[in-house]
Structure formats: C-alpha cells, structure tokens
C-alpha cells in the first residue's frame, strides 16, 4: 500500500509538478490537491493523507497557519513545507508550527521525495509494517 499524499500550493504549475514527482514513485499516491491552507485542511480531514506538502505562501491561509491545525486534527500526519524562503527564523517558525521538514522549491525535484522517505523510514508503513531502513 502506498503512502497517501495531499499537495497544497496556490501555483497550479508547481502543484502539478510536485504531484507528478510523487505519482512516478510506486510508494506514494497523491489523493488530492489544494490551492490554499484552508482547502488543504478540508481535504485532509476527508482524505486522511499520511503526508501533506504545504506551500509556505498561499492566499486565504498560508502553510504556517494551516500546519498546526492539521497537526491538531490529524496528529499522525507528516507535513513538509515547500518554501522559497530560508534561514533560522523560518526553520524555527516551521518547527513551532509542527512542520517536520522544509524543502526549498528550487530543490524540490531532487530533495522532496528523499525527504519524505526519510520522514517515513521509522514509521509503520500503511500496511502496518515498518519501512525498510
């Protein structure tokens, strides 16, 4: 059984690109997409993904605001934030919001899938077994 992913980004090209990164991997399945944080929360509550990929900067509700709500409502969900911003302040804010990892948008093609796999490595897989180390 694959890991279920929800992708939230207000830029349709980036959202589709991130979705495509996961779709070509046999251990991931994208169950939905969202254009902003509020929609990501709504869809996550219905789709129950294992992973939510959130853009930092989105209209209606940004990723930093959506993340703690997601963590409260779905405590087991893993959250990766895509961002064009970096630095210690961003990392601290993300960690305080319950975000597990930050990936720079310009590195998403090479870093997003490995980061997701690293985060899942010690968790039980969707079929109840531990992922291989």
Chain segment 78-132, per-residue pLDDT in tens: 999 998 877 788 888 889 999 999 999 999 999 999 999 999 986 655 555 444 4
Provide the pLDDT confidence category of residue 133 given band limits of 50, 70 and 90.
very low
How many CA atoms lie less than 13 Å away from 99 in the CB half-sphere?
26
Residues 50-91: tens digit of each pLDDT: 999 999 999 999 999 999 999 999 999 999 999 887 778 888
Packing angle of the helix pair 63-73, 37-47 (nearest 10 deg): 20
Whole-number Cα distances in Å, 6 to 41, 50, 53, 71, 133: 10, 8, 6, 14, 24
Domain boundaries, the chain: 3-120
Identify the pLDDT of residue 74. Answer: 96
Name the helix (H) or strand (E) containing 5.
strand 3-8
Name the strands in the sheet holding 28-34, side by side, starting at the edge strand that comes first in the sequence: 28-34, 3-8, 51-55, 78-83, 101-104
Q: Hey, what CATH topology would domain 3-120 get?
A: Rossmann fold (3.40.50)
């Amino acid at each position: 059984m694959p890991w279920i992913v929800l992708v939230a980004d207000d830029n349709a090209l980036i959202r589709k690109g991130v979705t495509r990164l996961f779709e070509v991997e046999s251990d991931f399945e994208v169950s939905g997409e969202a254009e902003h944080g509020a929609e990501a929360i709504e869809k996550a509550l219905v789709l129950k993904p294992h992973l939510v990929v959130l853009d930092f900067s989105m209209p209606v509700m940004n990723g930093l605001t959506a993340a703690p709500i997601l963590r409260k409502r779905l405590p087991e969900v893993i959250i990766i934030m895509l961002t064009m911003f970096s630095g210690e302040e961003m990392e601290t804010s993300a960690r305080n919001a319950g975000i597990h990892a930050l990936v720079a948008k310009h590195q998403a093609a090479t870093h997003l899938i490995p980061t997701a796999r690293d985060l899942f490595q010690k968790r039980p897989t969707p079929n109840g077994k531990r992922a291989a180390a």
